[in-house]
Each structure stands twice: as structure tokens, then as C-alpha cells.
A and B are shown apart, each in its own frame.
Chain A
Amino acid sequence: MSNAHLLDHAARLRDDLPADFQEGIVESIYSDAAAISSSTVSRDSQRARLTADRLLDRALTHRVWGFAVMGVLFFAVFWFTIAGAAGPSGLLYTLLVEGGHAWLRDGFVALGSPGWLTGIVIDGAYLATAWVIAVMLPPMAIFFPLFTLLEDFGYLPRVAFNLDRLFSAAGAHGKQSLSMMMGYGCNAAGVTATRIIDSRRERLIAIITNNFSICNGRWPTLILMGTIFIGALAPPALGSVVAAGSVVAVAVVGVLTTLLVSWGLSKTVLRGQTSTYSLELPPYRPPQLWRTLHTSLIDRTLFVLRRAILMAAPAGVVIWLLSNITVDASSIAAHVVDALDPLGLALGLNGIILLAYIVAIPANEIIIPTILMLTMTLGSNLFGAQDGVMLELGSAHTETVLIQAGGWTLLTAINLMLFSLLHNPCSTTILTIWNETKSLKWTTVATLLPLTLAFAVTFLTATTARLAGWI
């Protein structure tokens, strides 16, 4: 029988079958499963779910307590991160940035290395890398294990369960909350995770909005800004609490943005039916502490750190070159920053931050180090300090660099947090979006929509702050 005839025959046989025969297939399989199961399984009690699980669920999905616990848990994670990272970060900074940098520089000079080589290797590649490690390693080493513990315990599906009504109202698929949470690790992973959503329309919504889940690379920026600028507003004893609160606030703004943009998309370009959804709430499992610590350190912390270092070293070189190749009496970086400054200031940021975001398109991780390096080398010219400030500030902390050399204010910090939350995805994520959608149009939308939103929101904040006379 030829292949085509075989298909014809199958179609004829199908015609003779009752319309609901497929259902019969599932029913037959399930009834066999039920029969086998009932003849092999015996329970010594009739309870269907462990009482502990039920009680926990009652609390974690309670009308009042559910949200209270959610807030407290996420807040606690950030607070531990901020409070715990300060010490180790300071130590690493002293060791790598202050001590290590000076020591290596002296060594290079002593060996007769030419100025440009010392500059590229030590002031460029090394300094950027050292900064990435000092700024990022401690918070990541605390944040990721804590988040992973929550994840392994089975808490995240409960969050999805609690919030689903909002997603439903936004016209989004129920599973979007899961891909959203995946995005809190890495947006590229979050975009891949949208495969659990069958409908293309809803999947696109999930892909485009995944950017508003703050990823690994962006947490450090938020945590640092929260610590230096917002935590500092409070009395020292409450500093880290207030700082953690500000990071939670940004994360909440992220969720709201996700909902709002989803709603907007589902009402305009991605109109359509909300498809069915079902979510299994798995039983709670006591997380394995050591394994969790181990995997989150290896998988996440070191992975992100490695990526950051790989990106930081070349970025450091680029920054050094930009800052040291002079055209018309000032460096390329200075020219670019001068050109970007009007836009930057209108957005409540500055030219350096915008240039840093251009340099850091490959990886959000290196934003802060890039900003610091640019501020240190350019800050003197731009903000009227004397030359050679770079070396003087070499012994200064992040805060001093930004406030004194960079002229940063609270508005700069807040807008940087907002910009970090909203701006375009990193190049890896953009590539993933392309791979998942195979559509130039949607990849462009997913890239430019967030960027436009970031410009609009920071501009509004800055304008409001100025009109209100806050700055």
C-alpha cells in the first residue's frame, strides 16, 4: 500500500469512528492507570494532603496574610542581601580596587611598561573587572541562594496563584506569572520559559513583558542605588531596611508595568481570546540547604560573575580607550558624553549613564562599574574638579565617586533604578527573543518598547521633580 493510500485509509477509518473517540483514548488510559494504581497502592490513612501543607497553604494564600507574607518574604530576601553584602563588598573593594589596583599599577610602572599599556591593562581591563567583583559578588552570593531556597520550597507557584487574577484581568495567560518569575533570574531564560504558553498571542505578550522582571544583571544596580542613595536618607540603624524597601518597590513597579503593558498589548496589537490555563501547585518540599547553596553558587552566582567578568574586561579596555584617545583636545568619551548630556539630564540621568548603557548592551552586569570608571575619568573635566582626580578618587568609595565627581542626586539614583528596570533587554535576551519568535517585527517591538517606556518614564519623573522644585 502506498504512503498516500495509507493516509486515505486512516481518514476512512476515522470517519467510521464516533466523533468523541479521542476522548475514549484518554479515558481508556486513565482507567487502566486507575486500575493499576488501586491494585498497587495502599494508604494507611485517608488524608489526601498532608495537614502541614494545607495549613501552610491556608496561610500563604490567605486574603490578608498571603500578601503580607509575600511582601515580608521578598523584603527579607533583599534586606539580608543589602545588610549582609555591605561588609564583604567593602573588604573586596579595599583589597581589589584600592590595594590591588595601586599595587599592580606600581608593578607595571616599575617594570617599565609604557603608559598606554598600563592604562589598557590596569586602568582599563583590571579596574573594571575588580569593580565588578567587588560590587557584584557579595550581593549575588547572598541573594541567589535565598531566592533559590524560596523556589525549591515550592513558594513561587503560590505567588502565581495569588496574583493570577491580576494577570487574567490584564488579558495575559496564567502561566505568564511563571515565565515572569523565571525572568527574575535571567530574562533570556524567562523568554525561553514562555514555551509553556501555547497560544502565540499570549506567548508574545509574555516575551515582550519579560524584560520587566529584574534579572541577575540588574539586581546589583538596584541594590547599590538603594543602599547608597535611598538607605542613606534614613537614620543609620534603619538604612538597610529602607534600602531593601526601595528595591522591593522597584520590583513591584516592575510587576505593575508587566501587567499594564500586557493589558495594553492585549487590548491593541495582540487582541484575542484568553486561553485556558491550569496551574499545578506542587507539594512543599523542604529545600536541601547545602545542595541549594552549592547549585545557586555554581549555577547562578559564578555563572553571572563569569559573564560579567568576560564582559567587564573588554568593556574596561573600551572605556579606557574612549577616555584616553583625544580628539580636539578632549577624549572621545568626553565628546560622546557631552553630546548625550542634554538628553541624559532631561531624563534625570546624565550623559555618562547613557554612554554606560550603550557600552553595556552585551551585559547589564557591568553598568555600575562602567559608570564608575567613566565618572572617575571624566568627572573631573565635566564637573570642574582638577585633573588627576582619577588617582585621588582611586581610594574613594562608590558613593564619593558618584556624588562628588559625578554630581549625582537622589533623582539620578531613582531614575537610574527606573531606567534599569525598564530599558531594553541585553543582547543575549534580544537574540533569544529572535530565536523564539523568528520575527524581526516582534524582536524589534520587544527591544524598543521597553526602551521607549524607559525614556518616557524617566523623563516624566525628572520633569515632575523639577517642576515641583524637589531638585
Chain B
Amino acid sequence: MPGPELPTAPDAGPAHGACTSCAIYNSANLRKLGVETGTYDYVAAVAGNPNTGKSTVFNALTGLRQHVGNWPGKTVARAEGGFHYHGHGYKLVDLPGTYSLLSTSNDEEIARDFLLFGRPDVTIAVVDATRLERNLNLVLQILQITDRVVVALNLMDESERHGITIDVRHLARELGVPVTPMAARKGQGVPELLESVEQVARGTVATRAHRVKHRDPRLERAVDVLAGQLQQTFPGLPSTRWVALRLLEGDPGTEQAVRDGTLGDLGRGIAGPEATSARPTGTAAR
């Protein structure tokens, strides 16, 4: 079982006084997405491919017992729970398992919109250590949307059985975000994951997400130009390059958000603009 801090009653409010400097600034948008933030201090999302043990990680953190089936498409809707760590309340949202965020299917849309418009304080990207390459495809897409990511390198026990060794430090360096090896089924790595989640949520660790460089220079240029214009029109908008890419692709949801200006709300927020700089950010720990 997880560390001594866990688990607390699911969905209970924070046991200790809520941190005033870290109130969820994006609660209006989150409410629109159907997430009651209540008295939680931080919102964390759990994303990942199907069959990576996403639900197991979610359960290990929340103490909830969402059934974990070994087949794709198990979680189609969002599940929510909560936990406390070091006196802060975390709302945890389990997103549907998807291979990608680029397509138009229902589940991918839910995951994508939540990451973009919900702007979780931290996103836990659950990755199957036995199939790193195909899982990184999704992680890299998440990293295009947000810097605030912790990679949970799950199923380490299985990958050992398969004779696979992963250079975790190198992986963390390449991705630019913390990577925690774990075997969630056995409760291994949960304390370390919690620590990383806290560091990223509170901004005490600097993350510099790997940006995918598009091989076609024309695309690269178009993204640059459009991202610059987005920055001007919606000052403080995070993940402008991702939004630019979506616009170039003609994604109806994103176009709508530009047209009615909701995209701008993301930049203005309630307590402050940019995701990273408005936070009580310490200098890089570690």
C-alpha cells in the first residue's frame, strides 16, 4: 500500500487549512467542464494510453477502488477522486485512456479539452514501461499542451520480466519533466510519484517540456507565425503552439474557442495569467 499520507477519504475536503496562495485559479473553466473543485488546492489529471494501469495509479493515489479491467476502453468517462499530501488537497481526475490527442473521437476530445481548458495544475502521464515508444507518442502530445507533467513509468515489474532496462534519468532529461518508475499494482513508487506531483503542482521544480520540432519547415514556420499572433490576441495564453497547430488543422472546437473568445479566459484566468509564472514558484529544486 502507498505511503503513510495515504489514503484519505475520497472526495473529502482538505483536512488542513487550504493554502491561500495556491487557490485553484481556473475554477470557472473547470466548473464548465463539470469538475467541482470544492476546497481542493490543486487539480491533477491522470492521462495515458489504454492498458497502462492508469486506473491502478488513480486508485493507488485516491484509495478509491475503481474497477480495473485488462482491456481497452475500460474508462470511457471521467472518474474523479481526491487525496491529501503534505497538508494540501488534490483533486484527481482520471481521463479516458487514449492513444493520441489528435483525433476526433469522443474520448480523445474529453481528454484533450480537459488538458487544454481545464488546465490541471499537474498532469500525471501514465506510461507502460514495456512499450515506451508507443506510449511516448501520447506523452509528447501532452507535453505540447502543458509543461506541468509528471511521467509515471508504470509496470516496471513487467518490463523487468521482459528483460527491458530503461534509463530513467536520461528519459527525464529528454522529456524535460520528472519521471517516476513505479509498479502501481504493488504500490511501488507511489510515495515518489506523490513527491513529484507536489513539486510540479507547487512549481518547486522547473519543468521544460520537450517540444516536438516539425520536420517540415513550412509547418514549423506557420506554427511560429500563428503562435505569435495568438500570443498577441490572447496575452498570457499558455500552449500557444499547440493551439496554433489545432487551428491549422481546422479543429472545430478550437476555432469556436477563438471565435467566442473563451480561449482568452485561459490566459486571463482568475488569480493570474500564465500557468507557470504566476505561481509561487521556487527555483528549481533538485
In the complex they form, do A and B come into direct contact, defined as C-beta atoms under 8 angstroms apart?
Answer: yes
Q: Which residues of A contact B (CB under 8 A)?
A: 1-4, 6-7, 9-11, 13-14, 16-18, 21-22, 24-34, 36-45, 47, 50, 148, 151-154, 156-157, 175, 178-179, 192-193, 195-196, 198, 279-280, 282-285, 288, 294-296, 298-300
B179 shortest CB reach to chain A, Å: 10
- The chain A residue with its CB closest to the CB of B250 is A14
B258 proximity list for chain A (CB < 8 A): 3, 6-7
B141 proximity list for chain A (CB < 8 A): 29
* Contact residues, B219-253 vs A (CB, 8 A): 219, 222, 225-226, 229-230, 232-233, 244-245, 247-250
How distant is the Cα of A123 from the Cα of B105 in the complex, in angstroms? Answer: 52
How distant is the Cα of A22 from the Cα of B216 in the complex, in angstroms? Answer: 11
How distant is the Cα of A37 from the Cα of B233 in the complex, in angstroms? Answer: 37
B71 proximity list for chain A (CB < 8 A): 151, 154, 156-157, 178, 282
Q: Which 5 A-B pairs have the closest CB atoms?
A: A33-B136, A37-B133, A196-B73, A154-B70, A10-B247
B140 proximity list for chain A (CB < 8 A): 29, 32-33
How distant is the Cα of A178 from the Cα of B51 in the complex, in angstroms? Answer: 14
B70 proximity list for chain A (CB < 8 A): 151-154, 156-157, 282, 284-285
A298 proximity list for chain B (CB < 8 A): 65
Q: Are A17 and B219 in contact (CB under 8 A)?
A: yes
How distant is the Cα of A38 from the Cα of B136 in the complex, in angstroms? Answer: 11
B218 shortest CB reach to chain A, Å: 6
- The chain A residue with its CB closest to the CB of B255 is A7
Q: Are B225 and A31 in contact (CB under 8 A)?
A: no
B62 touches A (CB below 8 Å): no
How distant is the Cα of A218 from the Cα of B259 in the complex, in angstroms? Answer: 50
B15 touches A (CB below 8 Å): no
Q: Are A294 and B166 in contact (CB under 8 A)?
A: no
Question: Beta-carbon contacts of B50-75 to A below 8 Å, as 1s and 0s?
Answer: 11000000000000010111111100
- Of the candidate stretches B36-44, B155-163, B268-276, the one touching chain A is B155-163
Question: Beta-carbon contacts of B120-150 to A below 8 Å, as 1s and 0s?
Answer: 0000000000101110110111000000000
Q: Are B225 and A13 in contact (CB under 8 A)?
A: yes
A118 shortest CB reach to chain B, Å: 40
Q: Given A50-B161, A178-B71, are A280 and B226 neighbors across the interface (CB < 8 Å)? A: no
Q: Are B215 and A31 in contact (CB under 8 A)?
A: yes
How distant is the Cα of A280 from the Cα of B74 in the complex, in angstroms? Answer: 12
Q: Are A299 and B233 in contact (CB under 8 A)?
A: no
Our pick among A27, A43, A152, A198 for the contact of B68 (Cβ within 8 Å) is: A152
B247 proximity list for chain A (CB < 8 A): 6-7, 10
Secondary structure of the A contact surface, majority rule: helix
B215 proximity list for chain A (CB < 8 A): 24, 27-28, 31
A43 shortest CB reach to chain B, Å: 5
Q: Are B229 and A9 in contact (CB under 8 A)?
A: yes
- The chain B residue with its CB closest to the CB of A203 is B106
A24 proximity list for chain B (CB < 8 A): 214-216, 219
B212 touches A (CB below 8 Å): yes
- Of the candidate stretches B168-176, B190-198, B199-207, the one touching chain A is B168-176
A180 shortest CB reach to chain B, Å: 12
Q: Are B212 and A28 in contact (CB under 8 A)?
A: yes
How distant is the Cα of A305 from the Cα of B185 in the complex, in angstroms? Answer: 28
Q: Are A37 and B222 in contact (CB under 8 A)?
A: no
How distant is the Cα of A179 from the Cα of B164 in the complex, in angstroms? Answer: 34
How distant is the Cα of A39 from the Cα of B218 in the complex, in angstroms? Answer: 28
Pick the most buried of B71, B215, B229: most chain A CB atoms within 10 A of its CB: B71
A157 proximity list for chain B (CB < 8 A): 70-72
Q: Are A13 and B73 in contact (CB under 8 A)?
A: no
B80 touches A (CB below 8 Å): no
Q: Are B248 and A39 in contact (CB under 8 A)?
A: no
B17 touches A (CB below 8 Å): no
Q: Are B219 and A14 in contact (CB under 8 A)?
A: no
Q: Are B226 and A9 in contact (CB under 8 A)?
A: yes
B72 proximity list for chain A (CB < 8 A): 157, 178, 196, 279-280, 282
Q: Are A151 and B174 in contact (CB under 8 A)?
A: no
Q: Are A283 and B130 in contact (CB under 8 A)?
A: yes
Q: Given A9-B229, A151-B70, A196-B76, are A45 and B163 neighbors across the interface (CB < 8 Å)? A: yes
- The chain A residue with its CB closest to the CB of B51 is A282
B77 proximity list for chain A (CB < 8 A): 192, 195
Q: Are A32 and B233 in contact (CB under 8 A)?
A: no
Q: Are B174 and A195 in contact (CB under 8 A)?
A: no
- The chain A residue with its CB closest to the CB of B70 is A154
How distant is the Cα of A282 from the Cα of B97 in the complex, in angstroms? Answer: 13
Q: Are A29 and B229 in contact (CB under 8 A)?
A: no
* Contact residues, B29-48 vs A (CB, 8 A): none
A416 shortest CB reach to chain B, Å: 30
Q: Given A6-B229, A6-B233, are A14 and B248 neighbors across the interface (CB < 8 Å)? A: yes
Our pick among A7, A50, A195, A294 for the contact of B259 (Cβ within 8 Å) is: A7
A28 proximity list for chain B (CB < 8 A): 212-216
- The chain A residue with its CB closest to the CB of B164 is A43
- The chain B residue with its CB closest to the CB of A156 is B71
Q: Are B69 and A10 in contact (CB under 8 A)?
A: no
Q: Are B185 and A288 in contact (CB under 8 A)?
A: yes
A11 proximity list for chain B (CB < 8 A): 250
